[in-house]
Chain A
């Protein structure tokens, strides 16, 4: 009896393994990609276009030759903007549909649990259009399986640090809002500024909605800083900047993107902000961006403006390219291939079916490629994050004007300088 049981088990094992090994050589068509997006719920309105961008990318991939000769099918599930629903959707995609890669999702609060409890443990690649929380790629929970196609707060932090260094602000105090965003920004500015020729002499967190911030400002001023970096939100920032100036603080003030509103400028008084500047993400331009905008317009009869639309297209295109590059369609192989989508010295490929076809041919010939997407060059750093261009704004004659743009090439050089 024992002998028969052993044989049956052996046969069962063999049966279980053989199709998989076969799949590694020749994938079964169609190739499935999972998608998790908040199609309904509070994010629903903005997600319509994001989902359309994902479908457009799948269409372009299929018109351009698909993945390893197979057409691609996007299996899209709704997360309703809720962690529990999102995790269930991802579990379904991984365990039932057996997808090797997922694109999603929008809210960081949903993306985080999916990484921690589904994709990373199952070694499934996940790539998000929209979640910015820096912790995902830094705290080790993703094990390298998580990527995203939009810049995190790190981009803004490094750009701010470099602009501060460029303006010769040597001794700076940081006052920051005590949230994930503020803590993130401070952490990265602190990392970057010393390497670019500046020094942080005081770091003071603040909690929002307080009647006065004299104590925080006094604490920051005690270290005799020559300039201030303020990371926060406009209403409290007005109080802080006014108290800072009143108590004798320097007018050399660096600000984050939230302060790029006239409410802030008028609240403080424009005449006190002549020496201040701020940072924000800049829009990318280029032929590959235009090509995407054009095909989106043609397909959906509406323009592609909106959060997450361009980054979602790139997220799916990157998966399509990486799955062609990967030696097999397993999670680990795709994960490694994602990093070869924008290889040094590769031939440039862009958006649209023709460009995808070109990329597939290059990959078949064993040549490296360099993908330029709907958001410009897509190059993942060691953590799976991308950088983007930034713009420096300032106040001139009571108006907010763009001072200069830090191009994505400059930004990548900046990242190399800071992170080595």
Chain B
């Protein structure tokens, strides 16, 4: 067991690493959380939207080039533009997925388990189409390698990572305002609270469902691009994050934006902090340990409403 002072000196860096991982998980978990509450099923194909988002941005980057790096960042405006475009396209892809698969199942009143398995099937197809189109190998947005800067005493971060944190924060704030004040946002929240009541109040359910899919896809694409920035893209990149996304969404409480963000950060911290004292071999288990502890006390998750 290392000395206490040595351990304490490592904590700030571990927190920084945890928050960074958490930011990406949070972006992806928002879609899962909405899906659980508004669409009422666990969409296991969500992780593939991250992968698709990352690869779609790669296509744009391949045409436009990563551009001249902006300041200390490893990429130029082209990658940011590519990400926004990929977000639109992935949103469309998610919408198309609903159109082709899930809407038909909903129309026939399929039970949630059928939806889950349809999601599994969709995930397999989507992942293998990525392999078909881009091959099983790895890709990079840029071959630049950044050197971390010391942002606080004992805390090193890459400029890219600081950008990711800032961007994620901005997206979450915008999304919060959207859900709070726009009509569609309010309708989504109403659906999340009670679909029957929302329907009775004249909310156009299919409209809300469509928006939910689109937003989930767009956010997943951003998470995917950020995941690809650190540092590579491969066909399993989204799938490898799937369990973390679900842990974050359930930990925070299904249907809650704040819950998904806090859940994401907690998952990131739970992966990074304990390994100061235990073997990193157990890293992957830590978020689930935390998840169990939280669910024992609050079965609806930290910010979830008791139904």
Contact = CB atoms under 8 A, between A and B. Distances in A.
Interface string A94-124: 0000000000000000000000000000000
Nearest to B227: A211
A210 B143 CA distance: 20
B280 A215 contact: yes
A267 interface: yes
A276 interface: no
A138 to B, nearest CB: 21
Contacts of A267: 138, 140, 232
Interface in B137-166: 137-138, 140, 143, 145-148, 156, 158
Contact of A204 (B13, B137, B158, B280): B280
A205 B275 CA distance: 11
A222 B24 CA distance: 25
A211 B234 contact: no
A233 B42 CA distance: 33
Interface string B251-279: 00000000000000000000110011001
A63 interface: no
Contacts of B140: 267
A364 interface: no
A21 interface: no
Given A248-B156, A263-B138, A267-B140, A218 B232 contact: no
Q: Which bucket holds chain A's interface residue count?
A: 20 to 34
A238 interface: yes
Contact of B20 (A214, A248, A268): A214
B158 A246 contact: yes
A246 B146 contact: yes
B284 interface: yes
B6 interface: yes
A219 interface: yes
Interface string A202-224: 00111101111011101100100
A103 to B, nearest CB: 36
B14 interface: yes
A206 B275 CA distance: 11
A216 B275 contact: yes
Contact of B230 (A206, A211, A245): A211
A242 B227 CA distance: 14
Interface stretch (B81-89, B109-117, B191-199, B235-243): B235-243
A272 interface: yes
A107 to B, nearest CB: 25
B138 A248 contact: no
Interface string B11-29: 0011001101100100000
Nearest to B237: A211
B283 interface: yes
Nearest to A175: B280
Contacts of A212: 17, 20-21, 230
A238 B276 CA distance: 23
B231 interface: yes
B231 A238 contact: yes
A371 to B, nearest CB: 42
Majority SS at the chain A contact face: helix
A239 to B, nearest CB: 6
Given A205-B281, A263-B138, A214 B17 contact: yes
B287 to A, nearest CB: 12
A194 B13 CA distance: 30
B188 to A, nearest CB: 28
Contacts of B156: 247-248
Contacts of A219: 10, 275-276, 280
Contact of A248 (B18, B148, B236, B279): B148
B231 A243 contact: yes
Contacts of A242: 145, 231
A287 interface: no
A248 B148 CA distance: 7
B280 A235 contact: no
A246 B147 contact: yes
Contacts of B14: 215, 218
Given A211-B237, A214-B272, A247 B24 contact: no
A246 B24 CA distance: 19
A214 B6 contact: no
Interface in B1-45: 6, 9-10, 13-14, 17-18, 20-21, 24
A205 B231 contact: no
A272 B275 CA distance: 28
A239 B231 CA distance: 6
Contacts of A222: 6, 9-10
B274 to A, nearest CB: 9
Given A242-B145, A247-B156, A267-B232, A215 B271 contact: yes
Nearest to B234: A235
Contacts of A293: none
Contact of B280 (A209, A216, A239, A263): A216
A207 B283 contact: yes
A258 to B, nearest CB: 15
Nearest to A220: B280
A346 interface: no
Nearest to B24: A211
B231 to A, nearest CB: 5
Nearest to B273: A215
A178 interface: yes
A253 to B, nearest CB: 13
A12 B231 CA distance: 76
Interface of B: 6, 9-10, 13-14, 17-18, 20-21, 24, 137-138, 140, 143, 145-148, 156, 158, 227, 230-232, 234, 236-237, 240-241, 271-272, 275-276, 279-281, 283-284
30 contacts: A178-B281, A205-B279, A205-B281, A207-B280, A210-B284, A211-B230, A212-B17, A212-B21, A214-B20, A214-B21, A215-B14, A215-B18, A215-B272, A215-B283, A216-B283, A218-B13, A219-B276, A219-B280, A238-B231, A238-B232, A239-B230, A239-B231, A239-B232, A245-B145, A246-B148, A248-B148, A248-B156, A267-B140, A268-B145, A269-B143
Given A205-B280, A219-B276, 19 more contacts: A207-B280, A211-B237, A212-B230, A214-B21, A215-B14, A215-B271, A215-B280, A215-B283, A218-B10, A218-B14, A219-B10, A219-B275, A222-B6, A235-B234, A246-B146, A246-B147, A247-B156, A248-B147, A269-B143
Instruction: Give 8 closest A-B pairs by Cβ, nearest first.
Output: A214-B17, A215-B272, A205-B281, A242-B231, A178-B281, A209-B240, A216-B280, A247-B148
